[in-house]
């Protein structure tokens, strides 16, 4: 079997609050980040953590990346850098050395290949990884809770090919019921006025807009209503 996963990074301001994420399906994904890092560091860290999370399985690994820098670093340049003492052709030290050396170690004995995918082009796995990485960078920016994900869950949903994420999405769609629960005054948003009678706001969306809203909500593990509240 081949595990197909997307790996992506995000850095607000680049460098700035940064996140990384890898994504197989809604049951198998992970994310993390830093208060200050670059987009390339996020992309490399996502690949590293994907290899670490799947180190105990014998399956081939197909890594989908929208970063040519990451793909070329791992598949083309790394061997030459190592031969030159981790220096580039011009003699200058290789950037992001710690991450690259850790990736080099994680690749030992693994069966893998990389495939480039265009970013922000509605590729389901790439979009899912991108939205999770960005959610982490935004959480660091506002000092919020970091969405780390379940990781590679042993005994969970079997990792499958790229079509798999659409099967898991309905389990996240059941989340709107949480929005009705009362919250403390300090947590109130625009839609949560301190009155006993609830207020309803209706928003007219096109089919395309509604589809984008649902995909982004699923990518962050929240309901569309919760995502809208976070945007206000």
Instruction: Spot the catalytic one: 8, 25, 26, 138.
Output: 8
Bridge partners of residue 7, in order along the sequence = 22
pLDDT of residue 226: 64
Quick one: which of 197, 216, 192, 214 has its CA closest to 205?
214
Residues 139, 53, single domain; the answer is yes
pLDDT of residue 229: 61
Instruction: Spot the catalytic one: 25, 26, 43, 49.
Output: 43
58 is catalytic: no
Q: What is the pTM of this model?
A: 0.67
pLDDT under 70: residue ranges of the chain: 154-222, 224, 226-232
pLDDT of residue 211: 60
Final residue belonging to a domain, choices 114, 135, 167: 167
8 is catalytic: yes
Residues 55, 73, single domain; the answer is yes
Instruction: Spot the catalytic one: 49, 127, 130, 138.
Output: 130
Final residue belonging to a domain, choices 167, 187, 210: 167
pLDDT of residue 119: 95
Domain holding 202, by residue range, is: 174-232
Which residues neighbour 1 within 8 Å (Cβ) at sequence distance 6 or greater?
59, 60, 158, 159, 160
pLDDT of residue 201: 58
43 is catalytic: yes
CA atoms of 110 and 50, how far apart (whole Å): 12
């Amino acid at each position: 079997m081949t595990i197909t996963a997307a790996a992506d990074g995000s850095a607000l301001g680049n460098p700035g609050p940064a996140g990384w994420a890898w994504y197989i399906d809604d049951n198998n994904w992970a994310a993390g980040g830093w208060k200050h890092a670059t987009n390339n560091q996020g992309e490399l860290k996502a690949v590293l953590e994907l290899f670490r999370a799947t180190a105990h399985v014998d399956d081939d690994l197909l890594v989908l990346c929208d970063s040519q820098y990451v793909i070329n670093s791992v598949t083309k340049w790394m061997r030459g850098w190592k031969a030159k003492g981790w220096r580039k052709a011009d003699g200058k030290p290789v950037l992001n050395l710690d991450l690259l050396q850790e990736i080099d170690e994680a690749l030992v004995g693994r069966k893998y290949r990389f495939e480039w995918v265009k970013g922000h082009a509605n590729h389901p796995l790439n979009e899912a990884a991108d939205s999770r990485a960005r959610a982490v960078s935004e959480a660091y920016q506002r000092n919020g809770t970091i969405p780390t994900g379940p990781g590679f869950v042993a005994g969970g949903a079997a990792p499958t090919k790229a079509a798999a994420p659409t099967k898991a999405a309905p389990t996240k769609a059941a989340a709107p019921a949480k929005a009705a629960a009362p919250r403390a005054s300090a947590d109130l948003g625009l839609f949560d006025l301190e009155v006993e009678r609830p207020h309803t706001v209706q928003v007219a969306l096109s089919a395309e807009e509604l589809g984008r809203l649902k995909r982004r909500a699923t990518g962050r593990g929240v309901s569309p209503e919760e995502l809208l509240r976070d945007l206000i």
